[in-house]
């Protein structure tokens, strides 16, 4: 016995990505949808199951799924790449456009996976701060793109964990500065909750990839399916870094069939958007700072009590939110996912008690 070899240096330095799971009644910590997919979707999937030849490898090109997504977005099927969750989409983008000797520009605070996957793929991270309102300052971004010449620029709109959308103008200015040298990625995991989408800007001669997921708006976090709408040459490259047959047959069918029930998803999105307003309004009456959000969560900060203490006292009332107060630039902050009305009421009652 001589022991085990050390993992690569990049890995040794970093912890994995975890959201603590605690056994509580009201879970408002991971931005999932409170609503499962409709029974009609389960029926449609069950109806197709018998026809899926699981002894055969899946359609490697995911032709029908990509065709359905392309139609849904009004783009070409060659402009859609799908993978196991948008995290895997991002990993493929990093493998293809990042890597050793290349830089990615990331505006903090943002989704932790953007820098995590950068480290895993040996991509150098250039960290840039956000403006006071948590938006990306276009002037700062353009300067950094010119100075650092990154291979990738990561944007997140609306941004997790702040809920801030980027302006269309900001994306256009960054694209202009990148001038085809950098791939601009807009992570739109919360895109359907927002007032605009960058998908309209995607074209084969524009270095823009917009990433979407089934995990949040579609209420299908358990399915692990995400995709990007990007120039077809980019999609072709992503197909080369993905593992062969990475997307199983069941998932391809499930994701395609979901699009037939989009009215159901959209109704839930509007319900969540109006509940989001209720959370913001009610929180504003308490001794907390609340940030406007275009996503399915709300960023807030107790003014007189520490975030971790408030988090703990909420857990004591069987309500779990996300304590993000240890992230850089987010001292004192908590993030609450918008849940079903009764869950939000439970949260509001608990937080009112804790802060009074």
Ligand X SMILES: *Cc1c(COP(=O)(O)O)cnc(C)c1O
Q: Which residues are at the interface with ligand X (CB under 6 A)?
A: 31, 85-87, 111, 156, 160, 187, 189, 213, 215-216, 221, 226
Q: What is the Cα–Cα distance from 14 to 16, expressed in whole angstroms?
A: 6
Nearer to ligand X, 249 or 296 (CB): 296
Nearest to 17 by CA among 34, 30, 4, 1: 30
- With beta carbons less than 8 A apart as the criterion, state whether 235 and 81 touch: yes
Nearer to ligand X, 156 or 202 (CB): 156
Kindly state the smallest distance separating residue 268's Cβ from ligand X, in Å. Answer: 16
- With beta carbons less than 8 A apart as the criterion, state whether 126 and 106 touch: yes
Q: What is the Cα–Cα distance from 92 to 54, expressed in whole angstroms?
A: 25
Kindly state the smallest distance separating residue 304's Cβ from ligand X, in Å. Answer: 29
In the bound state, the residue with its beta carbon closest to ligand X is 85
Kindly state the smallest distance separating residue 149's Cβ from ligand X, in Å. Answer: 25
Tokens of 122: 């040996």
Nearer to ligand X, 119 or 149 (CB): 119
Preceding omega of 202 cis (within 30 degrees of 0) = no
Kindly state the smallest distance separating residue 179's Cβ from ligand X, in Å. Answer: 26
- With beta carbons less than 8 A apart as the criterion, state whether 185 and 231 touch: no
Q: Tally the C-alpha atoms within 13 A of residue 60's C-alpha that lie toward its C-beta.
A: 9
Nearer to ligand X, 215 or 293 (CB): 215
Kindly state the smallest distance separating residue 323's Cβ from ligand X, in Å. Answer: 16
Q: Which helix (H) or strand (E) holds 303?
A: none
Nearer to ligand X, 252 or 302 (CB): 252
């Amino acid at each position: 016995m001589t022991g085990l070899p050390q993992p690569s240096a990049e890995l040794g330095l970093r912890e994995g990505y975890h959201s603590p799971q605690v056994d509580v009644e009201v879970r408002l910590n991971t931005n999932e949808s409170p609503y499962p997919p409709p029974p009609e979707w389960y029926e449609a999937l069950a109806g197709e199951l018998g026809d899926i030849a699981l002894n055969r490898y899946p359609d490697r090109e995911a032709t029908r799924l990509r065709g359905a997504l392309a139609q849904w977005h009004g783009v070409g099927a060659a402009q859609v790449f799908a993978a196991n969750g948008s995290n895997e989409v991002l990993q493929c983008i990093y493998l293809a456009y990042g890597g050793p000797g290349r830089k990615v520009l990331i505006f903090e605070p943002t989704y932790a996976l953007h820098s995590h996957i950068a480290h895993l793929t040996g991509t150098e991270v250039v960290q840039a701060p956000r403006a006071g309102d948590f938006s990306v300052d276009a002037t700062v971004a353009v300067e950094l793109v010119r100075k650092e010449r990154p291979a990738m620029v990561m944007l997140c709109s609306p941004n997790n964990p702040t809920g801030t959308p980027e302006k269309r103008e900001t994306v256009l200015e960054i694209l202009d500065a990148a001038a085809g040298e950098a791939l601009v990625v807009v992570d739109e995991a919360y895109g359907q909750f927002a007032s605009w989408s960058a998908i309209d800007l995607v074209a084969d001669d524009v270095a823009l990839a917009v990433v979407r997921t089934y995990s949040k708006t579609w209420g299908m976090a358990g399915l692990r399916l995400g995709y990007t709408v990007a120039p077809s040459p980019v999609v072709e490259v992503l197909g080369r870094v993905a593992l062969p047959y990475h997307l199983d047959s069941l998932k391809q069918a499930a994701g395609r069939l979901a699009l037939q029930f989009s009215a159901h998803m959209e109704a839930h999105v509007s319900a969540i958007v109006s509940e989001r307003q209720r959370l913001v309004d009610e929180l504003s009456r308490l001794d907390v700072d609340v940030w406007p959000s275009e996503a399915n969560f709300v960023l807030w900060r107790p003014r007189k009590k520490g975030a971790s203490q408030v988090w703990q006292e909420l857990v004591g009332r069987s309500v779990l939110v996300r304590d993000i107060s240890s992230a850089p630039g987010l001292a004192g902050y908590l993030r609450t996912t918008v849940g079903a009305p009764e869950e939000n009421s439970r949260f509001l009652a608990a937080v009112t008690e804790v802060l009074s």
